[in-house]
Each structure stands twice: as structure tokens, then as C-alpha cells.
Amino acid sequence: QSALTQPASVSGSPGQSITISCTGSSSDVGNYNLVSWYQQHPGKAPKLMIYGGSKRPSGVSDRFSGSKSGNTASLTISGLQAEDEADYFCCSYAGASGYVFAAGTKVTVL
Amino acid sequence: QVQLQESGPGLLKPSETLSLTCTVSGGSLSRSYWSWIRQPPGKGLEWIGYIYYTGGASYNPSLKSRVTISVDTSKNQFSLKLPSVTAADTAVYYCARASYYDSSGYSFDCWGQGTLVTVSS
């Protein structure tokens, strides 16, 4: 069982917006503004999409945005495109426990 | 562009030692943490630990008693050793770079493709 919880799957039509939640606890997500999000296409290495809860690395589309409320972080993909179909997983710094991950969410573009 | 590549045996017997190496190309090991992360089949990712290029390491408390991560800057490599493996250690093992991003701590911004290690008698 992963330390962080995400829905197993989320789907949307092209052009729509979807939001993926990442629920942790006061020991990780709730205590640190250090959530990162990763995109992984099948057979490929994960790619950093969001760091520090809401910041995008250079080169990542502004259609991807992150936020946090309490113990739950969220990743929103706006203007959904076929290329966004992938697995997405969140990660949080957790102090003495290091880093904790979620199992991931499969995003399907209908 | 920095690239990471894991290497090591893909099949181990119970009680053997898992040894993996990550070779970093296109850049140096300087000013970053170098990590090992694993994903058992059908389960989520688990951070194993990381090491700074100068040699200081931090480990997941749940694995700390078994894990050793080391770095060899002369070869641009870092390694993972996990002794006495069991079936529970079967997973895809990733190496990754953790970089510091403007007051937002460290994030894993460069990953290897991953290597499947199966523990079976």
C-alpha cells in the first residue's frame, strides 16, 4: 500500500480539463510544500511535470498545473490532448521518512 | 542532456545480493543527489535512498538496515546493494537524479528506463 493515494484512473475528452488528486497526511503532503508530479508513458522513463507543488520545469506545457489544499495535492491538465494519455504519479517529501510516492493514475483520453 | 542507465543481473535467487549500477552520461555527478527508486509489479513506487556526489547518503527507514548506496565519481556511476533478497524485492528498479529547484527542495528530474529484477528460486 502506497503512502500517498491517487485514483486508479481518470479519463476525459480532448480539450477538456481533468484533475488528479493525491492524498497524503500531515506527515508529508500537509506538512511540506514539496509535492512533485511525474508523467510516464509506457516503456518510458518518468518525466518531472510539477515541482514544489505548483511550479513547472522549463519545457513543460502550461496546460499542466499543480495545487494543494491541506493533505491533498492536485494536478490539473487543461486542454487535454491525445499525447497526455499516460500514467501520472505524485511524490512528497516526508521528512525523516524521505520521499513517499503514490501508485499512480492512468489518464485516458477518450 | 544527462542520461541515466541501470545495469545489473535481472534474476536472483532468494538470499543473494542485489547489485545494480547506474551510469550517468552527458553530465557530471556534481551538485545533485543520486537516487534509487523501485516499483514492485502492480504496486506504487518506493524511494530506496539517495547519495550526494560527495558521498553522504540517506535511506528509506524501512530499508535502511539492508541498503547501501555508493558513488564513484571517477566512473560517473553510483550503485545499489541490497543483501539477502526475497520475493518481496522483485521490482523494477529505477535510478534517478534529484536536483534542487529554487527553494522547492529536491525533485527527481532525470530517470533511467528502469530494470526489472526478479527474485525467484
Residue A1 pLDDT > 70, yes or no? no
Alpha-carbon distance B64 to nearest alpha carbon in chain A (angstroms): 10
Q: Do B108 and A46 touch (CB under 8 A)?
A: yes
CA dist B31 and B34 (Å) reads: 10
Q: Which residue of B has its CA nearest to A36?
A: B107
User: Model confidence over A46-55: pLDDT tens digits?
Assistant: 999 999 999 9
Strand partners, B64: none
Burial A69-90 (b: 16+ CB within 10 A, else e): eebbbbbebeebeeebbbbbbb
The three cell numbers locating residue B114: 528502469
Q: Which residues of A touch B109 (CB under 8 A)?
A: 48, 51, 57
Give the 3-state secondary structure of residue B55.
Answer: coil
- Please give the C-alpha separations between residue A49 and each of A78, A81, B27, B73, B114, in angstroms, as whole numbers: 14, 15, 21, 28, 19
Give the per-residue pLDDT at B82: 98
CB pairs under 8 A between A and B: 75
Place of cell 514544489: A52
Q: Which residues of B touch A52 (CB under 8 A)?
A: 101-105, 107
The three cell numbers locating residue A27: 506527515
Whether the CB of B52 is below 8 Å from some CB of chain A: the reply is no
Alpha-carbon distance B72 to nearest alpha carbon in chain A (angstroms): 23
A69-90 mean pLDDT = 97
Q: Which residue of A has its CA nearest to B41?
A: A103
CA dist A60 and A43 (Å) reads: 20
Low-confidence ranges of chain B (pLDDT < 70): none
Band of residue A43 on the pLDDT scale cut at 50, 70, 90: confident
Comparing C-alpha atoms, which of A67, A13, A58 is closest to residue A37?
A67
Q: Do A104 and B44 touch (CB under 8 A)?
A: yes
Give the per-residue pLDDT at B102: 79
Query: How would DSSP label each residue in A54-110?
Result: TBPPTT--TTEEEEEETTEEEEEE-S--GGG-EEEEEEEE-GGG-EEEB--EEEEE-
Going by DSSP bridges, is the β-strand pair B57-59/B46-52 parallel, antiparallel, or unpaired?
A: antiparallel
CA dist A20 and B55 (Å) reads: 37
